[in-house]
A and B are shown apart, each in its own frame.
Chain A
Amino acid sequence: MEKFSVFSSRLVEKAEFFTSGHRACQGCAEALAVRHVLKALGRDTIVAMSTGCMEIISSPLPTTAWKVPWIHVAFENSSAVASGCESGMKAMMRKGKIPKKKINFVGMGGDGATADIGMGQLSGALERGHDMIYVCYDNEAYMNTGIQRSSETPWGASTTTSPAGRKSIGQHTQKKDMPKIAVAHHIPYVATACSSFPFDLMEKVKKASEIEGPAYVHVMSVCPTGWRIPTEEAIKYGRLIVDSCVFPLFEVVNGKYSMTYKPEKILPVAEYIKGQGRFRHLTPQMIEEIQEHTTREYEKILKMCEEG
């Protein structure tokens, strides 16, 4: 079972640990990503989650969509809380206070929780070397507060705090490179994934859980509401962002980069940008700039993969 992808979907865990009945928008690929991540992790998992869409839609009292133990504390600290869970269990197991058992400790947060407000805490948790996985669900906005820009919002995207206007192109900075920031912590495992590539995603999460020490998985999570696309097209846009190399799928094991998916035919970014309301105002020249940036960044990653 080296690679999930060469096996059929029948081999995927049938049990659901993130159940239906939650209140996510129709077509939310972030909810789908959570579901896939949990399938890969299995039942012996404890999740600490940040404030954000996934927390709000899954936990209104007195209901819950979680079938694994789950805790939400605040917006920025799921990494610290997960590291606390891991430390507590580790001590109690070592001291014989509870039976020994392999448990996955997982911190989860949106791109805002991860790359902005929770950056320091994530860095601390990764640096301390806890045996835990951090999963970032990146929908390129603060969706729970209503489509504001985050440091993961791409250049040119119009959000409620980076609106396109007569004097504004929308977001005027490039996406913060979280996976590379995670790599810079010298942790054993870092990967990018997308819920439109579920087997690749599950395989990476499984790997992250098997490796000892901190792991970071950055999951592109298409948000139809924020991207202003039809609800039924979230999966399609997930494929488009990967196939246009705007969001390449790779992993970094002990500092060694490798591509886990190479598009058979690289699509022009215009294909991916087309039809998204948040990019509606872009001129052909701006799209060309995005194309150049994308090609440049993709080649950098390819080179790092070649160098190993």
Chain B
Amino acid sequence: MAKERKGIEVSLAISEAVCQADVDVVSAYPITPQTHIVEHLSELVADGHLDAEFVPVESEHSAMSVCVGSSAVGARSFTSTSSQGLALMAEIFFITSSLRLPVVMALANRSLSGPLSIWNDHTDTMMVRDAGWIHVFVDNGQEAYDHIFWAFRVAEDKGVRLPVAVNLDGFIMTHMIEPIDFEDTELIKKYLPPHRMEGALHPDNPLSMGCFAMPEMYTETQAARDHALLNSYPVCLKAWDEWAALTGRKYLPIETYRTEDAEYCIVTMGSFGETAMNAIDELRAEGEKVGGIRIRLWRPFPFDDFFRAAAGKKYLIVLDRAISFGGPGGPVALEVRNALYKKTKAPTVVDYVAGLAGRDVAVNDFKKIILEGKAKAEKGKTKGYTLYGLRSS
């Protein structure tokens, strides 16, 4: 493919990226709102644009199992899912990272049943937050396209060897038609060298993968796993830097918007970030000293970058898109509070949960949340969380 700008549905752009990444195996099981991604990949394979094995499995549990098998023999492997599909594959999702297999998945975020809902929030991805994968959140179609290459690049790095989930908001992003800059496949080849995996399963070099561990071994295996995930951080940065050098599009683990002189900030993850920017602009025009912080890299969590972004701010209003039931509120706010705990001059954290299962959160809602949150912080009302827009009757 040559360099060009195209108006295209984001799901299809992701499939085109997977095609340009020259994957060897795609395993596929349909679930809304991820379906268009694997559908288009099946077309790309059927028409000969992508030379890969397209494995139309009978469930998501198998989708991940096939990727584990194909990745274990050294093949570049991709799958995609959402919601119930992720829940069904969760068992294997954990094992993929324990086996240190560089599988890449596009995770079109969607609520979990029940009640059944096909719309977007972050409940599904929060379920696997602690599974040992690298998690990145993209905000628009261009970022989604770019991050497929980035994900393979990081996953397959010899010093990393971990699976990567590219999280994108279901419908809000997957079904949007956006102008996207496609890169030349030659450039992609430069950025993403062919995958050569050491220690892949092959009869010439027999080894055992996925052995069982007695209590005297298990702890060490988990320490190694955490170590690997934490150590992937510099590789994530390097892969972003090199992408920027080649394309001019620069990404950071924590991104900020009008924060320099901000007194307080709204913290978001995923596509909320873009709407938040509009709200920030309007509030700024009204004299509010507000800025925005976007978490792009969720795992490994970029603590230092976050401290830097939050330094000197009075309040942080965190906008979550999932609830940790019976717990402290939203998972992102929980993370942020934890990160700031015992820091001197830590900003006060206010937690809002909004946009569950696709409920619209428009610019005006953002403005309301920001101002209300600020008022709560000023009054010290920071306990628990607020479910924004909850109808009482």
| Residue from B74, B201, B205 within 8 A of A71 (CB atoms) | B201
Docked-complex contact A60 and B62, CB < 8 angstroms: no
- A23 to chain B: closest CB distance in Å? 11
Docked-complex contact B53 and A87, CB < 8 angstroms: yes
B55 within 8 A of A: yes
For B96, the closest partner residue in chain A by CB is A73
Stretch from A78-86, A148-156, A276-284 at the B interface: A78-86
Stretch from A40-48, A170-178, A249-257, A267-275 at the B interface: A40-48
Q: Mark B52-76, 1 if CB is under 8 A from A, else 0.
A: 1101111101100111111111110
For B23, the closest partner residue in chain A by CB is A91
B390 within 8 A of A: no
Docked-complex contact A82 and B69, CB < 8 angstroms: yes
A55 within 8 A of B: yes
| Residue from A48, A66, A98, A121 within 8 A of B62 (CB atoms) | A121
B92 within 8 A of A: yes
- A288 to chain B: closest CB distance in Å? 42
Docked-complex contact A80 and B71, CB < 8 angstroms: no
Q: Assuming the A-B contacts A44-B203, A60-B214, A68-B206, are A97 and B24 also in contact, with contact meaning beta carbons closer than 8 angstroms in the complex? A: yes
| Residue from A70, A91, A121, A124 within 8 A of B208 (CB atoms) | A70
- B369 to chain A: closest CB distance in Å? 42
A92 within 8 A of B: yes
CA gap between A67 and B203 in the complex, in Å: 9
Q: Can you identify 20 A-B contacts, CB atoms within 8 angstroms?
A: A44-B203, A46-B202, A60-B211, A62-B211, A69-B203, A69-B208, A73-B95, A84-B67, A85-B72, A88-B24, A88-B73, A88-B74, A89-B75, A91-B75, A121-B61, A121-B62, A121-B65, A125-B62, A127-B58, A128-B57
A sample of 18 more A-B contacts (CB under 8 A), given A61-B211, A85-B72, A92-B75, is A46-B202, A59-B210, A61-B217, A68-B203, A70-B207, A71-B68, A71-B99, A73-B99, A76-B61, A81-B69, A84-B71, A84-B77, A85-B70, A85-B73, A85-B201, A86-B69, A87-B53, A127-B58
Give me the interface of A with B, judged by CB distance under 8 Å. Answer: 43-46, 48, 55-56, 59-64, 66-74, 76-77, 80-92, 94-95, 97-98, 101, 103, 120-121, 123-125, 127-128
Give me the interface of B with A, judged by CB distance under 8 Å. Answer: 24-25, 27, 51-53, 55-59, 61-62, 65-75, 77, 91-92, 95, 99, 194, 201-203, 205-214, 217, 221
